[in-house]
Amino acid sequence: MRENRRNITLEGGHISMYELRKLDSPVNVTRTFMPPFSEFTAEIERLWNNSWITNNGVLHQEFEEKLIEYCEVENISLLVNGHLALETALKTLDLKGEVITTPFTFASTIHAIVNCGLTPVFCDIDKDDYNIDVSKIERLINEKTVAILPVHVFGTPCKVHEIEKISKKYNLKVIYDAAHAFGVKLDGKSIASHGDLSMFSLHATKLFHSIEGGVLSYKNSNYKKKINLLKNFGISGPETVEMVGYNAKMNEFQAAMGLVNLNYVETNINKRKLITDKYVSLLKGIPGIQLLNYSLNNIEYNYSYFPVLFDPILFGVSRDTVHELLGENNIFTRKYFYPLATDYDCFEEKYSGLDLPNAKAISDKVLTLPIYPELSLETVEIICENIIEIHRRSL
């Protein structure tokens, strides 16, 4: 650790001297969880002699069963990644028209809608939990609307009961992008049981992973057959190709990693909780800092991310300056999610004029801080000391 002094010109024009503590080695916003090597090889060994390493092998079947139990749902399908799972969910429902969604998400959500030939319709978000604002959904519904695709952003559950009410009233499908929400419970029940389908991403950077991987959870058992067809070229028999599909199957190495890592989910969530509690205790009450509310007692959080909103006026400097100063001191944060999906280059100016005040404000202020099970509480303290020092010197 060494002191890092740096003069910076603040937004107000005056010069301030920061005395920040630089970490000896880089700390990234996340770090892939690696289980004990021997546990992974023990799983792999099971499949070595029978030469069956993909296409619904034994580990795949076992993983599916374990997830049905863990997620407390009737049906689980495994796919090669979360994105193709989301596209598969949309294709399974055979939708055509408009899908109401959020601009405050990862590119995958919107690209799934567009790749399936559907039109995304962007709804503003709630200023407290950053999820789709349920009070603004109905005004976006018209005769072309076919579904709502909300995201449980940072693992905080959406207002699922209100969304269900709206979907029933207008006869819309609901697909949850639950990529962030593995292990989350609402009212004592797994979040996986809401909507027509929910998608969980098991990408290496996520809280629980299978190297890459995607999970669909759903109540309607009729979906199983179509999902199986879609993810395997539409092939239903040795001489039958029933529909146009693609290849989105999970292989046995992925399932092996998933099976091993599933044993560590609870421990890892508990470690993340301690880190979150530390961050909250040190950053709570600092002017210009807004944290998520982790104290709603009907929610069991998974602590998958630690987002902080920095208000440039009250905090003293902008989110971008905090991001830059922390980065110079080996603390790598992410502007997650910035830009909004409506501002992606690939959409050109198509969605640029929309009235999404909360989404715009939050996307301009948000920074996610490092969080992963092995992150030490001492490092969390240094990160927070630096943030407090930036605030102190910026006034």
Ligand X SMILES: *Cc1c(COP(=O)(O)O)cnc(C)c1O
3-state secondary structure of 4: strand
Q: Which residues contact 369 (CB under 8 A, 6 or more apart)?
A: 29, 279, 306, 307, 308, 333, 383
Which of 203, 271, 360, 391 is the binder for ligand X (CB under 6 A)?
Answer: 203
Cβ 237 to ligand X, closest distance in Å?
A: 29
Binding segment for ligand X (CB under 6 A), chosen from 60-68, 76-84, 241-249, 271-279, is 76-84
DSSP character at residue 212: S
Q: Binding residues for ligand X, how many (CB under 6 A)?
A: 15
Parallel/antiparallel/unpaired status of strands 197-201 and 173-177: parallel
Q: Which two tokens stand for residue 392?
A: 């102190």
Long-range contacts of 353-357 (CB under 8 A, 24+ apart): 354/103, 354/122, 355/124, 356/103, 356/122, 356/124, 356/125, 357/124
Site string for ligand X, 102-121 (x = CB under 6 A): ---xx-xx------------
Site string for ligand X, 34-73 (x = CB under 6 A): ----------------------------------------
Q: Between 82 and 120, whose beta carbon lies closer to ligand X? A: 82
201 binds ligand X (CB under 6 A): yes
249 binds ligand X (CB under 6 A): no
Cβ 206 to ligand X, closest distance in Å?
A: 6
The dihedral region occupied by 218, where left means phi > 0, alpha psi between -120 and 50, and beta the remainder, is beta
Distance CA(176)–CA(195), nearest Å, equals 6
Q: Between 111 and 224, whose beta carbon lies closer to ligand X? A: 111
Nearest to 54 by CA among 36, 79, 37, 77: 79
The residue nearest ligand X at its CB is 82
Give the position of tokens 């009907």: 298
Which of 20, 63, 67, 82 is the binder for ligand X (CB under 6 A)?
Answer: 82
Cβ 42 to ligand X, closest distance in Å?
A: 25
231 binds ligand X (CB under 6 A): no
151 binds ligand X (CB under 6 A): yes
Binding segment for ligand X (CB under 6 A), chosen from 46-54, 66-74, 79-87, 114-122, is 79-87
346-377 burial, b for 16+ CB within 10 Å, e for fewer?
A: eeeeebeebebebbbebbbbbbbbbbbbebee
Distance CA(383)–CA(68), nearest Å, equals 39
Q: Between 30 and 394, whose beta carbon lies closer to ligand X? A: 30
Q: Which two tokens stand for residue 374?
A: 């092995």
Which of 30, 75, 77, 81 is the binder for ligand X (CB under 6 A)?
Answer: 81
Segment 167-186, which members bind ligand X (CB under 6 A)? 177, 179-180
305 binds ligand X (CB under 6 A): no
Which of 33, 60, 83, 362 is the binder for ligand X (CB under 6 A)?
Answer: 83
Cβ 83 to ligand X, closest distance in Å?
A: 3
Binding segment for ligand X (CB under 6 A), chosen from 37-45, 75-83, 120-128, 232-240, is 75-83
Q: Which residues contact 323 (CB under 8 A, 6 or more apart)?
A: 333, 335, 367
The dihedral region occupied by 291, where left means phi > 0, alpha psi between -120 and 50, and beta the remainder, is beta
Q: Between 150 and 316, whose beta carbon lies closer to ligand X? A: 150
Render 185-209 in DSSP notation, one character per residue. Answer: EETTEEGGGSSSEEEEE--TTSSS-
**Peptide bond preceding 339: is omega within 30 degrees of 0, i.e. cis?**
yes
Return residues touching ligand X (CB under 6 A): 81-83, 105-106, 108-109, 151, 177, 179-180, 201, 203, 212, 214
